[in-house]
Structure 1
């Protein structure tokens, strides 16, 4: 036994440390995902026996107008959330300056990140209240009445997305601050010698060194937009009339309140496939960009 250990300890030791994580990932993620796909092929209320219906849940889903409303809202979330990485980078560049009092400014921008999403949702629900919220105070200063954003089916999704965008910008800012603190001083010094200043320094020296950070920021932001749930649950519960619902909330609503776990699993499977397509496409673009720059 000792001879086997000595001959193979180069890979056995790392395998022992990695094995618990692999088992946990396999049980919690892979097995759960496969089980969700299996449940989506059944009619099930979560308690009694499952009844096989094949693709019946998917046929009903693609004929459901609410599914397309939720899908459209997910696209709106994704598009608006893509503002978070560039805005986070801009704020990170600002607060990274060696200016007196900048630490206080940096802490103010950091506040949304440490707040729970539920707390952010409650705060913005008050902000959007048309009778006495902060938005009402701003409109009243100009002699106008604030719109009831959370009651308007055409505006409610945008109101919720911009509320959720606030902590997402803070998250991207923290990522870029970490990236800025690890920049190569040699490359920056060489850029200064070559006359790079301002935009040219940012474009040709700083941003290429932040490629990996940008990859993480965009990927996490996109996944966060696609699986958005908590802000909607706190602020609108999918209303009015389902106009602010997204796929994740529709899945929750169908499974928990309507006791249609098979239908909810079908929505979860579609959402997983959308995320998978985006991740594969994004990774492919990143790999091609790295191959071209190599």
Structure 2
């Protein structure tokens, strides 16, 4: 009987090891312990390259030999370069026209957010551009713009317009590439807004209907405020996509004709890889990073103030 009681006591005795460990570690450090692996990877693959790019931008280096300290010479040459201002202008055009993606994506999402037969197939067709590689999109649009066999010139010819070699035109080439980039970007914004529409508060919508709100008023005062998180993500990602545009430029024109379609990301790549000017390319990267950082910080501050 005593043995049974002893064994029962041993079985029911609480295990205080986890409690002791928990008491030894302050609660403040517990979240940091869980975040440590992600923070380490983020520091290695994001923060460290950013710091290295800033440091490298003050050196002249061909990627193989010895680094030579030149101070701000890379930045002085950069701001005196006509190619830099062309690339910066093209990036601004990218940013302005890419802002069409969120409203168009919202319109498509509103159209697709209904329960009718075959709507899933239609959603899949609209979603399709987002899963395609940027290189494939560049090739497809290069064929579409082909002056001899392209579908674009066939359509222009059908309606009696003059055909155009779009990717060979200094005046229109940037707009042709932006049109190719908008195709998947609109699909991405559409996905964000579809997700947001599926999580709307039905009570607010029902209350608005009782107050006879519909159409534009329903969209402006009830739906859009609830879609503000999706709008924030859509705008930030769209701006970042416009500023770091590289794949389509490299695939469709390689910055041509005569550098008229180059952007900052492609200029950085071209100067670093082809011209062996790593420090100069790093200076371009720093300028591009600062533009992104300033814009995103400004937008974050505005978003936080509006939520408060």
Global fold match (TM > 0.5): yes
TM, length-normalised to structure 2: 0.92
Q: 1:289: how far off?
A: 1.6
Q: Distance in 2 between matches of 1:282 and 1:239?
A: 33
- Residue 243 (structure 1) aligns with: 260
1:114-137 deviation per Cα after TM superposition (whole angstroms, max 9, x unaligned): 111011100000000111111021
Q: 1:11: how far off?
A: 4.1
Q: Does 1:33 align with 2:55?
A: no
Q: Which residues of structure 2 form unaligned runs of 5+?
A: 1-16
Which one has a bigger Cα radius of gyration?
2
Q: 1:208: how far off?
A: 0.6
CA contact under 8 A between 1:128 and 1:136: conserved in structure 2? yes
- Residue 173 (structure 1) aligns with: 190
Q: 1:285: how far off?
A: 1.4
- Residue 214 (structure 1) aligns with: 231
Q: 1:81: how far off?
A: 0.3
- Residue 73 (structure 1) aligns with: 90
* Corresponding residue SS for 2:66: coil
Equivalent of residue 121 in structure 2, options 104, 114, 120: 104
- Residue 229 (structure 1) aligns with: 246
TM, length-normalised to structure 1: 0.96
CA contact under 8 A between 1:136 and 1:146: conserved in structure 2? yes
1:147-202 deviation per Cα after TM superposition (whole angstroms, max 9, x unaligned): 11100011000100011000000000000000000001111111111111111111
Q: Which residues of structure 1 form unaligned runs of 5+?
A: none
Q: Does 1:147 align with 2:164?
A: yes
Change (3 A) 1:124 1:281: same
Please tell me the root mean square deviation across aligned C-alpha atoms, in Å: 1.3
CA contact under 8 A between 1:43 and 1:260: conserved in structure 2? yes
- Residue 180 (structure 2) aligns with: 163
Q: Distance in 2 between matches of 1:69 and 1:25?
A: 33
Q: Distance in 2 between matches of 1:33 and 1:69?
A: 24
Q: Distance in 1 between matches of 2:75 and 2:54?
A: 11
